[in-house]
A and B are shown apart, each in its own frame.
Chain A
Amino acid sequence: MLQEEGQLVIRALRGALRALVEHDVELADEVIAFDDEVDGRYFAIEEGIQSLLARQTPVAVDLRLGLAVLHVNLHLERMADYCVTIAKLVKLAPETADPRLIEGFEEMGQRAEEMTRVALDSFADRDLERAESLVDLDELIDRANRRVVHHVLELGTTPELREWGLRMLLASRCLERIGDHAVDVGERTAFLVTGEFREFTDASH
């Protein structure tokens, strides 16, 4: 079920990105409505884990799996929520577009999708090395985010461009946060495999 939820997140992400890049307000509305699907899976998984813990009192690896699923579930739900935020920003932003920024977003969107896939696959396969690779992928999204910030600051002085720039800054931040959540999923894979909880990178990064 978790993998199903993951696939829904990827769909939401693609929808949100396209809506952003093409300024497609109708698609944005669809993305917003689609979040109910993710929420439905989220609640079902949460209930399932609750029931499992109450009735089976799992221990050791079974318990770690239950806890890991709970956390990954939450991260996926948050990622989907960020897609909704992006869609809402598309609706609020005026139609103006800067091609360099659009390119930047396309790149960030691809990275975010890639990270989501890597996170889901490494969890399913209990692949510690692959989970750890998410840190490097995240660095790439962070750099892309910084480039977006830089471009926004260089935008023209018309109020329209400035407003657009602001919205796009927030959208960029959403994508960067999606990347962070993917890393968090990777950390849960590490927890599952090693029994140790540790952050992949130090928070001061």
Chain B
Amino acid sequence: MGPIIKVKNVGKKYSIRHFQGGYVALRDVIMTIIKSPLCFLKKKVKNITGIGTKEEFWALRGVSFEVKAGEIIGVIGKNGAGKSTILKILTGITPPTTGEIVMHGKVASLLEVGTGFHPELTGRENIFLNGAILGMKKSEIAKNFDSIVEFAETEKFLDTPVKFYSSGMYVRLAFSVAAHMEPDILLVDEVLAVGDAEFQKKCLGKMEEVTKKRGRTILFVSHNMTAIEKICNRCILIEKGQIKRDSTDVRDVIKDYLCGTESTIKDYSWSNPNNGRFENEWWKPLHIYLTDKNGKPYDTSIRNDQVAELVIKGDMKNCDPALTIGYAIYTEDGMLLYWSFQTDTDENSWPKIERGFFTLKTEIPQRLLNEGIYRIELIGGLQNRSWLFAPGGHNPTINISIKGGISDSPYWTGKRSGIIAPVLPWRGYNSTN
């Protein structure tokens, strides 16, 4: 069987005017015509002949790809890269400016949960209305009704207008309807951003179930890299309206996206560019890097069973007992793992730093980090007074890449599930009862 979706050289052009907000008033147009008919005519002619149409913007350009039945494709990219535009074109909400798309099968889209929900209508009524808007047949909705209600966990409130629902209930009901669509091709936009973690998990599970069991094709736009990695078996990275990567190695594409083009993977060390940006009254960081336990700087990835030492070199100008220097470590998708400061231990064991050049060393324990790339950000300040390097600011940052050596067990050689990958000893014995 050929591809289920075939996208050929699709482009979408907007005129900038649409982005400036506001709308045209007929009154203004008429006034322009009356006031300066020549000017108006000139503009019209220009528009028609195509001269002077600089006010345009290609949201998508030359996008081509094919999708085979049963594939689950994650579409990632920065805001405004054109991800949502692709979905809008595929659903038919907006037409492409160039190119052609051929799709085989019933297409359904989920660009927003609860589209068309009416606050005055009850949960029951909204299930039918929303279902119909999403393209379900009345009989289909009726057939799935119990299952929808059960999934949403809103049995008790079925006959309450949804305006009285909590936002969680609202989203659950809305997603539940959507989850029961039965298309061959499902187009999903950033919809999992809503709802609590528990429910998100449930939704992801439902989506996985739907595709795996019934062989549905899904195109899934999201910023949630964990979700993409979990569900998708192919990933497309869009940058400035064009496809930058398209690969079945989902993790690799995600990595590419998160690290940006200038691949920060190289940045295993940081030195002060001396442009005055990282200066303050107290101290100035000079150099941050990772070494092995013999003090040899790392310039590749580190095995999970190796110790890494983080070295922070700096110039102390004003000592202060409240001074804290440390780091925050984040996962690839920006989740904070932990903070660590030189002042975390008992006061007597704090490293003594005096005026002048100094070096701080700390160990990133082995057997802690899972496979992947982590970002180490310099943070610190004056305890209970102010940040000098506030977390999440544009602080000096280096990367640490963990690869291999996850455990000595023959069962776990690759990346483990979860954020961290500690290897913990187990004891066991036969008990009598």
Q: Are the chains A and B members of one assembly? A: no
Chain A residues engaging chain B, CB cutoff 8 angstroms? none
Chain B residues engaging chain A, CB cutoff 8 angstroms? none
